[in-house]
Homo-oligomer: A and B are copies of this chain.
Amino acid sequence: MKVDGKAMRSIWVEPDGWSVGIIDQTALPHRLVTARLATIEEAAQAIRSMLVRGAPLIGAVAAYGVCLALRADASEESLDRAYAVLSGARPTAINLKWALDEIAAAVRNRPRSERCAAAYRRAAEICDQDVAINSAIGRNGLPLIEAIAARKKPGQSVNVLTHCNAGWLATVDVGTATAPIYLAHDQGLPVHVFADETRPRNQGASLTAWELGRHGVPHTVIADNTGGHLMQHGLVDLVIVGTDRVTANGDVCNKIGTYLKALAARDNGVPFYVALPSPTIDFTTADGVSEIPIEQRSPDEVATVTGRAADGRIETVRIVPEGSPVANYAFDVTPARLITGLITERGIIAASREALTGAFPERNHGAQ
């Protein structure tokens, strides 16, 4: 999408033709810093320390991580090692494993001399495919916003609440939850976004607000605690969130706190949609709450907050008393029963096994 008028993606191949450029998302929203990845270790570290995050972007970085490994050493052992290192970098995102499988399949039966080029070709395809999928999600989700806009009085905006960042920064471009929003905005519909801050890492306050602001989409940042109150007072027309993994039953694993917003949406009759590219569907799991392992991250993410001090320095401050234990679960699961619909590249479908298998019959259901 646009950054102050200039088009940008979240990942690209550098002019040298092989190293990989990314935005260091830990420096946002205060500075736009890019980083260059030249080794698989750097790619894995970028995922691990969340310079890049968001399920589709993690998949893209992992794909290029394999390319970087094969460029240094195109052996079977190198491929296996790359797969192992990258798949362990973030445990929850299903796209990571999907992208690694795609790259591995593209190179496995080729002579060594062809592997590196084949990997780069497939990685570029994965990126372009992500953008194409997200654009389709935007087209499929747009009617939801159009329908609400048609009921509004002149001057009233369609208010969309989103949690975390499922924007273009979480993907290669366009975003998932943001895809219908950007499309509506670019078509001149009056859309306004409530962006949940999304503690502990503040991806809503730092990333969603930044990318919406840079593209020119009206928005308001709110504390995560606020969404229920807004919905009680009719201030939210629609919730759209992204997801890190959707089970075969339609349960949605997403950033911690998503489940609470789904409960509030149901209690107030607000439609709750999840936007997802189909690689996010994990047909090998059924019940999300009992089957998806939830990543626990460093207590420091809760105990401290990083931001820009008055003098411009980036500073980390501690908000929890010394000696107080902290728990930091990164994701939760929103049961399918709370979800109005899944916005996919093939249309809006119910959050159910029947709808998912019906929409994606070519996926090897339950047998992966």
CB within 8 Å of B: which residues of A? Answer: 28-30, 194-195, 197-200, 202, 205-206, 209-210, 212-213, 219-230, 232-233, 255-257, 259-261, 263-264, 267, 289, 294, 302-310, 315-321, 323-329, 331-333
Copies in the complex: 2
A267 to B260, CA, bound (A): 10
The 8 Å CB contact of A29, one of B232, B289, B321, is: B321
Among B263, B264, B307, contact of A317 (Cβ-Cβ < 8 Å): B307
Q: A55 to B98, alpha carbons, bound, how many Å?
A: 52
A sample of 28 inter-chain contacts (CB < 8 A) reads A29-B320, A29-B324, A30-B318, A197-B319, A197-B320, A198-B225, A209-B321, A209-B324, A221-B302, A221-B326, A222-B327, A223-B257, A224-B224, A224-B225, A225-B255, A228-B260, A228-B263, A232-B332, A260-B264, A263-B263, A263-B267, A305-B305, A307-B317, A307-B318, A308-B317, A309-B316, A315-B315, A316-B317
Per DSSP, chain A at the interface is mixed
Q: State whether A220 and B307 are in contact (beta carbons under 8 Å apart), knowing that A206-B319, A260-B264, A321-B209 are contacts in the complex.
A: no
When distances are taken between beta carbons in the complex, the residues of chain B under 8 Å from A305 are: 305, 307, 317, 319
A302 and B197 form a contact (CB under 8 A)? yes
Complex contacts, A221 vs chain B, CB 8 Å: 302-303, 320, 324-327
Q: Verify A200–B213 contact, CB threshold 8 A.
A: no
Among residues of B, the one whose C-beta sits closest to the C-beta of A194 is B327
> Would B223 and A200 count as touching, CB distance under 8 A?
yes
Docked complex Cα distance between A227 and B230 (Å)? 19
Determine if B309 and A307 form an interchain contact, defined as CB atoms under 8 angstroms apart. Answer: no
